Amino acid sequence: MQRLEKAAALLNTRPNEVPAKIEGLLQQIRGLQRENESLTQKLGNIEAKSLSSEKVTINGVQVIAKKVNANNMNALRNILDDLKQSIDSGIILLGSTSDGKVHLVAGITEDLVKRGFHAGKLIKEIAAEVEGSGGGRPDMAQAGGKNPEKLDKALKNVEKWVKSIS
């Protein structure tokens, strides 16, 4: 009974109203989570639009290799998907950090896959540089790593990888 009274006090309600109060709070949390996901997606769309203008050309291949603000792998994949839709041909490698970890995604357009580029191979090489691992398909791959301090350097090595394939 003491626990129920303590819970009621924490919830600023009477003991018999604790279940209803908890249900109301859970509904509020779910609503805030949906709103947060929507805002994260909108921010990702904005970031993808700004990144599409930051392409560099390496041996005739358009490349975007950037660190972005994404707090989880899902947000990172959404930015990648938006970017892939905004370019006709290219290689995209995006990285982010959160909670002391590195998240990486790579995407390669179909025309470049046919030329021998493979997102899974790219992601494995870059993930190793941030003390991580990953893999995936020729057109899309993802990875995680343990060393956020090495992310910027790892992203710069995409140019070397592209030159080795083309």
Cβ–Cβ under 8 Å, residues 57 and 126: no
Percent of the chain's residues with pLDDT above 90: 63
Q: What is the pLDDT of residue 87?
A: 86
Instruction: Identify the CA nearest to 65 among candidates 143, 127, 157.
Output: 157
Instruction: List phi, psi (to 5°) of 117.
Output: -80, 145
Mean pLDDT split into 10-residue runs, the chain, 166 residues = 87 91 94 86 72 84 91 88 88 93 96 95 95 94 95 92 86
pLDDT value at residue 165: 84
Give residue-wise pLDDT tens across range 116-138. Answer: 999 999 999 999 999 999 999 99
Question: What is the CA 152 to chain-centroid distance, rounded?
Answer: 15
Enumerate the β-bridge partners of residue 67. 95
Cβ within 8 Å of residue 90, ≥6 positions away: 55, 61, 62, 63, 64, 108, 109, 112
| Structure-block tokens of residue 162 | 């592209």
pLDDT of residue 152: 93
Measured CA distances, 4 to 14, 25, 28 (Å): 9, 17, 22
Prediction pTM value: 0.77
Q: How far apart are CA 146 and CA 110, in angstroms?
A: 30
- Sign of the four-CA dihedral 163, 139, 152, 62: positive
Q: Which residues pair with 56 in a beta bridge?
A: 63
